């Protein structure tokens, strides 16, 4: 083990967790203040803008909504986002800022991309620099990067209000939540990160693609664009859709170890800090700490396993006279699909963080990971994107598991299931089960359809078990709104664009609606005082059971398919 995780590797990982820990309290508290409607340092700038938005649209931000109104407003808002983005992509050829004269997208690709971005999935069926104009990237994708993350935040906050509310139907005002999330949280953070990225070498311009002659005399066309601004929100909003085809492996999206560190921190920054926001808003910070503890305890071992598997290298190459060892002059390991500046540790860290959060960006090609190294990102998605998860969506997904755990643990010890003073009854369990099971259903059915049809089989790039993994990965990624890929899969076909689009919609809204229903139901309940019969939900014991439930649900659902894909591929690799 020791030679597979070097001292430097370990220190890089420690530095990563340390930075996230430093931001946990300040950013968490700040977000809690924003959503409680308190004044913050940025209020003088954004309050006037916020007010004029409400005036312009005659919105009353104080007016509470019940869960049905909240859900309908949210769906209408997402629908508007879909229509606008779909039209922008379809008619890209007629719109400005299109120096490369790209034509409009095909209807199925425009559908897939629009769904992908409104659901915060950011699956890349499109090719970035070879498909999209600067206008589509900015007005279309960049906007949805913000807005879809803000929707996730709003749902989480509505659920928290449900937990806090006492015999009320009011879970907040969607217009106000989504506006505040955008203006006070996502916009300022993105601006800071974009500037830092720009200083470290990420490009930001509106120039034509650059034509040069290489030193050996060949022609090279270099893609340009406003990348830094989009890169920042792509990471912070757990979006992950790249400006370029190869996403953050591209040297213009992610040029240096510093830019890489900023970006990979940005992936988990908000999902991690939201646990503190949660603790503050439910008046019990230990509840937030318990959840973050469960997340870290699932994440850290998988991360280290991924690093060691990639560092161990490709067994097949050992038949040749190749040096895959790690030393002071080279990263070694399985370098296919990885960039020199990131090496093994930063590629494995990114792969784990991006799939733990529902980010889905990549800085190395997951399809070329070792079978067991590539199993880690797949498993992290299969846990339902609740280990950190998407902005907002990760934590509300996790709260469904918490409710399930409260119920199961309550049954085991014969105590009345209750959480934060709210009785957990059959309605809550139904909603939690829906939210937990719907994505798995779409993954497994989607994979089956793809494997049984010619159109599905046609997209497979690598043969054998790896080909199966490509399909499994695609549906896991879509239905859990992650967006990363085993990118060998040729997914830009009417079949995959449509089917994956449907999975993305289901994985988003069939969780959001039960979540809001749960919020509504909880808000209507009485608050029961803590008694001797209450199961505490901040103890190591509870954290342990919670982890157990998450792993049980994930592994039991997917063990057979994991055996058919990565495990067979691994056995195949080591047999030679």
Partner 1 sequence: MNNIAKTTLKSFGLMLIFTAILGGIYPTITSLLLEGFAKPQSIGSLIKAKDGSILGSSLIGQNFEEPKYLWGRLSATSTPYDAAASSGSNLGVNNPVLLENAKARIQNLKKYKNDESAKIPVDLVTASGSGLDPEISPSAAYYQIPRIAKARGIDEASVKAIIDKSTKKRTLNLLGESRVNVLKVNLRLDGKID
Q: Name which of residues 151 to 190 contact partner 1 (CB under 8 A).
A: 175, 178-179, 182-183, 187, 190
The residues in 118-137 that bind partner 1, with binding defined as CB under 8 A, are: 127-130
How far apart are CB 224 and partner 1 at their closest, in Å?
A: 7
How many whole angstroms separate alpha carbon 287 and alpha carbon 543? 10
At 327, give phi and psi (nearest 5°).
Answer: -150, -175
What does the per-residue mask of binding to partner 1 show for 485-514, with x meaning CB under 8 A? -xxx--------------------------
Among 24, 102, 146, 396, binds partner 1 (CB under 8 A): 146
Q: Toward partner 1, which CB reaches closer, 398 or 460?
A: 460
Q: Toward partner 1, which CB reaches closer, 23 or 97?
A: 97
The residues in 421-480 that bind partner 1, with binding defined as CB under 8 A, are: 461-464, 466, 469
At 418, give phi and psi (nearest 5°).
Answer: -145, 150
Look at the alpha carbons of 106, 469, 357, 10 in this order and tell me if their dihedral is positive or negative. negative
- Residue 402 and residue 291 in contact, taking contact as beta carbons nearer than 8 Å: yes
- DSSP secondary structure code for residue 335 in this structure: -
Among 19, 42, 95, 139, binds partner 1 (CB under 8 A): 139
For 191, the token pair is: 């601006």
CA distances 200 to 169, 189, 241, 262, Å, are 49, 17, 20, 10
Q: Does 246 bind partner 1 (CB under 8 A)?
A: yes
**Which span sits near partner 1 by CB under 8 A: 103-111, 201-209, 280-288, 440-448?**
201-209
Q: What is the dihedral of CA 560, 563, 564, 565, to 10 degrees?
A: 120
How far apart are CB 324 and partner 1 at their closest, in Å?
A: 5
Region for 120 from its dihedrals, namely left if φ exceeds 0, alpha if ψ lies in -120 to 50, beta otherwise: left
The residues in 539-568 that bind partner 1, with binding defined as CB under 8 A, are: none
Q: Toward partner 1, which CB reaches closer, 475 or 542?
A: 475
Q: Does 202 bind partner 1 (CB under 8 A)?
A: yes
How many whole angstroms separate alpha carbon 189 and alpha carbon 176? 19
Q: Which of 471, 496, 502, 464 is nearest to 486 (CA)?
A: 471
The residues in 303-322 that bind partner 1, with binding defined as CB under 8 A, are: 313-317, 320-322
- Report how many residues bind partner 1 under the rule CB under 8 A: 130
Q: Does 90 bind partner 1 (CB under 8 A)?
A: no
The residues in 389-428 that bind partner 1, with binding defined as CB under 8 A, are: none
How many whole angstroms separate alpha carbon 274 and alpha carbon 349? 21
How far apart are CB 333 and partner 1 at their closest, in Å?
A: 7
How far apart are CB 444 and partner 1 at their closest, in Å?
A: 22
The residues in 256-285 that bind partner 1, with binding defined as CB under 8 A, are: 256-258, 260-261
The bridge status of strand 418-419 relative to strand 219-222 is unpaired
How many whole angstroms separate alpha carbon 573 and alpha carbon 371? 8
Q: Does 70 bind partner 1 (CB under 8 A)?
A: no
How many whole angstroms separate alpha carbon 177 and alpha carbon 180? 5
Q: Which of 253, 432, 427, 402 is nearest to 341 (CA)?
A: 253
Q: Toward partner 1, which CB reaches closer, 191 or 530?
A: 191
The residues in 48-67 that bind partner 1, with binding defined as CB under 8 A, are: 49, 53, 56-57, 59
E strand intervals along 346-502: 418-419, 422-423
The residues in 1-20 that bind partner 1, with binding defined as CB under 8 A, are: 8, 11-12, 15
- Residue 136 and residue 99 in contact, taking contact as beta carbons nearer than 8 Å: no
What does the per-residue mask of binding to partner 1 show for 361-380, with x meaning CB under 8 A? -xxxx-xxxxx---------
**Which span sits near partner 1 by CB under 8 A: 285-293, 397-405, 418-426, 481-489?**
481-489
């Amino acid at each position: 083990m020791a030679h597979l995780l070097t001292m430097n590797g370990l220190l890089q990982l420690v530095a990563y967790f340390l930075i996230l820990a430093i931001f946990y309290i300040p950013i968490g508290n700040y977000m809690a203040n924003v959503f409680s409607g308190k004044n913050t340092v940025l209020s003088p700038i954004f309050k006037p803008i916020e007010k004029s938005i409400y005036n312009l649209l005659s919105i009353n931000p104080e007016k509470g909504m019940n869960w049905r109104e909240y859900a309908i407003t949210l769906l209408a808002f997402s629908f508007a986002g879909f229509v606008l983005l779909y039209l922008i992509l379809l008619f890209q050829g007629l719109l400005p800022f299109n120096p490369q004269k790209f034509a409009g997208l095909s209807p199925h690709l425009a559908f897939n991309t629009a769904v992908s971005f409104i659901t915060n999935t950011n699956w890349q069926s499109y090719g970035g620099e070879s498909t999209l104009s600067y206008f589509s990237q900015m007005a279309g994708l960049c906007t949805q990067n913000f807005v879809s993350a803000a929707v996730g935040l709003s749902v989480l906050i509505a659920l928290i209000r449900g937990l806090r509310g006492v015999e009320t139907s009011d879970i907040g005002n969607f217009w106000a939540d989504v506006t505040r999330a955008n203006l006070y949280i996502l916009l300022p953070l993105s601006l800071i990160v974009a500037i830092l990225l720009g200083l470290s070498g990420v490009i930001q311009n509106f120039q034509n693609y650059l034509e040069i002659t290489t030193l050996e005399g060949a022609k090279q066309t270099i893609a340009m664009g406003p990348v830094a601004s989009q890169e920042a929100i792509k990471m912070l909003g757990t979006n992950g859709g790249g400006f370029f085809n190869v996403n953050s492996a591209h040297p213009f999206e992610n040029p240096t170890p510093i830019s890489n560190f900023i970006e990979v921190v940005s992936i988990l920054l908000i999902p991690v800090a939201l646990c503190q926001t949660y603790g503050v808003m439910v008046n019990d910070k230990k509840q937030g700490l318990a959840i973050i503890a469960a997340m870290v305890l699932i994440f850290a071992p998988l991360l280290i396993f991924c690093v060691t598997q990639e560092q161990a290298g490709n067994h097949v190459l050992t038949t040749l006279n190749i040096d895959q060892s790690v030393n002071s002059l080279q990263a070694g390991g399985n370098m296919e699909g990885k960039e020199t500046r990131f090496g093994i540790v930063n590629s494995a860290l990114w792969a784990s963080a991006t799939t733990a959060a529902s980010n889905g960006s990549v800085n190395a090609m997951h399809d070329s990971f070792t079978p067991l190294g590539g199993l880690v990102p797949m498993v992290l998605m299969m846990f339902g994107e609740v280990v950190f998860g998407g902005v907002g969506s990760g934590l509300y997904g996790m709260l469904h598991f918490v409710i399930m755990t409260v119920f199961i643990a309550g049954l085991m010890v014969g105590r009345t299931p209750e959480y934060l003073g709210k009785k957990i009854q059959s309605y809550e369990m139904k909603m939690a089960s829906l939210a937990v099971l719907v994505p798995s259903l779409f993954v497994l059915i989607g994979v089956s359809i793809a494997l049984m049809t010619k159109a599905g089989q046609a997209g497979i790039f690598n043969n054998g078990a790896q080909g199966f993994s490509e399909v499994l990965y695609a549906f896991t990624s879509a239905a859990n709104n992650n967006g990363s890929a085993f990118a060998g899969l040729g997914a830009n076909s009417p079949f995959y664009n449509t089917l994956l689009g449907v999975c993305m919609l289901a994985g988003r809204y069939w969780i959001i609606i039960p979540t809001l229903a749960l919020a509504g139901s909880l808000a209507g309940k009485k608050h029961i005082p803590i008694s001797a019969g209450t199961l505490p939900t901040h103890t190591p014991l509870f954290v342990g059971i919670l982890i157990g439930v998450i792993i049980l649900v994930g592994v039991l659902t997917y063990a057979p398919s994991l055996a058919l894909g990565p495990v067979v591929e691994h056995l195949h690799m080591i047999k030679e």
